[in-house]
Structure 1
C-alpha cells in the first residue's frame, strides 16, 4: 500500500501545482475509464484527455483546490477534494468531490467522481 500512497500523493501534488494534464499523462492508463457520478463513462486515454482539456479550457477563474483527505486500500485510492472555480458554462462552482481511483501496475485504470449537483 505504501507504493499507492506515494503515487497518489505525487499525483495530488502535481494537480495542486497546476500540472493536472502532466499528472494525467504520467498516471493514467491508456485504457482508462473515467466516470462522473452515474453518467456514461468515458473510455480510453485519448477520449479522456480531450474531456480534461475541454474542462480546463472552460475555467474562467480558478480560486482554489485542496485535497482534504486521502485513503489508500488494496489497489484503490480515494481523495476528497474541495474545488472553487468559475466555469464558462456552469458558472461559479464551490463544492466537495470524492475521486476514487483503481490502480494496476502504477497506473489508474478507472476513476469515478462522486459529488452533488
Structure 2
C-alpha cells in the first residue's frame, strides 16, 4: 500500500520532469477543490485542469521547478516549491510557494497555494 509520503514524492517527481498534468490526473480527486491564497476556490477536476492549462500557457519556459521542503502528516502533505521561469509578458522571474494538500482515499481532495501576490 502506497503511503501519502510515497504518493507526494511521485507527484513531485512527475512535476519536476514536466509531467505535471500526468500527476494531476493520477493523484487528484474528481471533486478536488483548489485555491490560490484567499481567492475564490475552483471546484472539480475538469475546472481545475482548465485553470492549470491556462496558467502554464502564460509561460515561455520553466528553467527550474523544484521542491525545497516536503512535510507529511495524517491525510495532509505540504510542499515548498521554487520556480525559475520566463513569462511570456514579463520575462524572466522566480517565485516560491507552499502547496498544502488534503488527502482522502489516496487522492488529493483539496489543495491551497500560499505565495506572495505583490
**TM-score between the two structures when normalised by the length of structure 1:** 0.93
Per-residue deviation, residues 38-57 of structure 1 (Å, max 9, x unmatched):
00000000000001111122
Shift of 1:86: 2.2
CA pair 34-90 structure 1, distance change in 2 beyond 3 A: farther
Where in structure 1 do 4 or more consecutive aligned residues deviate above 6 Å?
A: none
3-state SS in 1 of match to 2:3: helix
| In 1, Cα distance between equivalents of 2:90 and 2:24 | 23
Unaligned runs of 5+ in 2: none
1:43-54 mapped onto 2 (5 Å cutoff)? 43-54=43-54
1:28-107 mapped onto 2 (5 Å cutoff)? 28-89=28-89, 91-107=91-107
3-state SS in 1 of match to 2:38: coil
| In 1, Cα distance between equivalents of 2:30 and 2:70 | 24
Quote the RMSD (CA, aligned, Å): 1.3
3-state SS in 2 of match to 1:46: helix
Aligned residues: 116
| In 2, Cα distance between equivalents of 1:74 and 1:63 | 33
**TM-score between the two structures when normalised by the length of structure 2:** 0.93
